Structure 1
Amino acid sequence: MTTLTLIRHGQANNTATTEDGYDRLSDLGRQQARWLGEHMRATGAEFDKVFTGSLIRHQQTAEEWGAEAFTVDERLNEVRYFDLSERMHAQFGIAVPRTHEEFVDHLPLTFSAWQEGKIDGVSETFHDFQTRVSDVIHDLAGAGDNVIAFTSGGFIGMATRVVMGLDIGPFTRAILPIMNSSVHKMRLMPAGLTLTQFNAVPHLENPARHDAQTHF
């Protein structure tokens, strides 16, 4: 039975204020990815195909994880959240979040406004984002018995919304706890893609690694 495993990238440059500035792994992010790869190999995980988005942090995570080769699919890319934040600030005076605590309040406001079409000049509508996520997860689920894809938290949250039928509130709450280098699994069943694992970090469960459990 086909299993699609989605991996959120390791910790990126969390001091960044732009899309490009954010798009590279921190030293901790690289280590998180290496630990994940070591854990998966030690537990016998094998994958028929490996995919990444086209973002640098996706591909760096795959490389540190141990992928010798992978297929790039831009549909796995993250929503451009920094751009949405700047537009929210320009249009509504809502400050761009600088900390995880501020992000917790900011994300539901931003995604609700985005879904309702209230943010002007966006590069991708909420509907288009949802459609590309739905398309690619179903395509990848048909690409092999065991497929792994390296992507981002917003993408994983949207994939969860798609397969679980989540409304905007539960959807945004699902995004917020997604940890760096976390593991999410979907299985293709007769009724369709079904979520079977969410936000697992078995490689970071050792008490000595608890400080490496990051969200932002």
Structure 2
Amino acid sequence: MSAVYLVRHGQASFGTDDYDRLSDRGRAQATALGQAWEASGFLPTQAYAGSMKRHAQTAIAALDAAGPSDGYDVDGGWDEFPHESVVEAYAPGYATTDARAFQATFVAAVARWASGEHDADYPESYASFTSRVLAAFDRVTSALGKGETAVVFTSGGPLAVVAAHLLAGDAATWSADAHMLWPRLNTVAINAGVTTVVTGASGRTLLAFNEHTHLPTDLLTYR
């Protein structure tokens, strides 16, 4: 049996002119994850990251803290959906530094995007996003040998796609059940949380979602 560990990036820099970089807390979250791996003697056989800055910074901090590694490969299939465009299409010109207020707008904007009724308004449709992520997931699982482990540093949206897909039965197509599950999982993904998938003769199974016991209470964030 093999395993894939999907890691959400550490806290990004919400409310600044460059969201796509880790905050000080985000770097501490990634380091805490790596330190937990080092304490348990864990190092992945393979490591991947999306192409976003926050993915790279999380991967570097976690892997450096875990011990000597061969680095990671970049796969843009694990990138987050274009959330700025999703919010802009729903509320043109919307801007706030209030995370709670933003969350309410974000949830409504994502629901509009995921409905599939306004695809022309977005650079990437919800259907294209889910297909992209599931293709990246297939690439990772196909490259794993028996007993090997892979870590993927990504965002909440992609890891929620994988989790919803597996909970819905790992069907070949994006099912209605997965479509219902995805927004619920996406909104509760914890920064530097770990979602675990095991693969074997019986297929691919979601073993754990959003595990975060490596994070002390003062490092627990959702955005």
TM-score of the alignment, normalized to the shorter chain, above 0.5: yes
The offset of 1:163, in angstroms, is: 1.5
Query: Helix, strand or coil for the counterpart of 1:62?
Result: helix
1:202 maps to what in 2? 213
Structure 1 residue 105 corresponds to structure 2 residue 107: no
What's the offset of the Cα at 1:98? Answer: 4.6
Give yes or no for the alignment of 1:51 onto 2:48. yes
What does 1:181-196 correspond to in 2, within 5 Å? 181-196=192-207
Task: Tell me which residue corresponds to 2:187.
Answer: 176
Unaligned segments of structure 1, at least 5 residues: none
Alignment counterpart, residue 39 of structure 1, candidates 36, 40, 43: 36
Give per-residue Cα distances to partners, 1:120-164, cap 9 Å, x unaligned.
431111111110111111210122221001000111111112222
| Paired residue secondary structure (2:143) | coil
Q: Which residue of 1 aligns with 2:81?
A: 79
Matches of 2:151 and 2:63, distance apart in 1: 12
Q: Structure 1 residues 154, 186: closer, same or farther in 2, change over 3 A?
A: same
Inter-partner Cα distance in structure 1 for 2:180 and 2:104: 12
Give the 3 Å change call, closer, same or farther, for CA 98–170 of structure 1 in structure 2.
Answer: farther
What is aligned with 2:171? none
> Contact 1:117–1:125 at 8 Å: present in 2 too?
no
Q: Is the 8 A contact 2:51 2:74 kept in 1?
A: yes
Q: TM-score, normalised by structure 1?
A: 0.87
The answer to whether the Cα contact below 8 Å between 2:191 and 2:220 also exists between their aligned partners in 1 is yes
Q: Is the 8 A contact 1:89 1:96 kept in 2?
A: no
Specify which of 215, 219, 222 is matched with residue 212 of structure 1: 219
The answer to whether the 8 A contact 1:75-1:132 is kept is yes
Map of 1:149 onto structure 2: 152
* RMSD of equivalent CA atoms: 2.0
Once the 2 structures are TM-superposed, how far is the Cα of residue 78 of structure 1 from its aligned partner? 0.4
Given that 1:88 and 1:110 are in contact with CA atoms closer than 8 Å, whether structure 2 keeps it comes out as yes
* 1:23-38 alignment, distance < 5 Å: 23-38=20-35
Determine if contact 1:179/1:214 at 8 Å carries over to the other structure.
yes
Structure 1 distance, partners of 2:117, 2:201, is 35
Asked if the contact 2:5/2:151 (under 8 Å) is kept, the reply is yes
Which is further off, 156-165 or 21-30?
A: 156-165
Cα separation, partners in 2 of 1:175 and 1:201, compared to 1, 3 Å: same
2:91 counterpart SS class: helix
Return closer, same or farther for 1:190/1:2 CA change in 2, 3 Å cut-off.
Answer: same
- TM-score with structure 2 length normalisation? 0.84
Contact 2:51 2:76 in 1 (8 A): yes
Per the alignment, residue 9 of structure 2 pairs with 9
Aligned length, in residue pairs? 206
Alignment partners' CA distance in 1, 2:105 and 2:141: 32
Determine whether 1:121 maps to 2:121.
Answer: yes
1:61 aligns with 2:58: yes
**Are 1:2 and 1:142, in contact at CA under 8 Å, matched by a contact in 2?**
no
* Cα distance change on mapping 1:139 and 1:97 into 2, 3 Å: farther
Question: Does 2:72 align with 1:70?
Answer: yes
The DSSP-based 3-state class of the residue aligned with 1:4 is strand
Compared CA separation, residues 167 and 142, structure 1 to 2 (3 A): closer
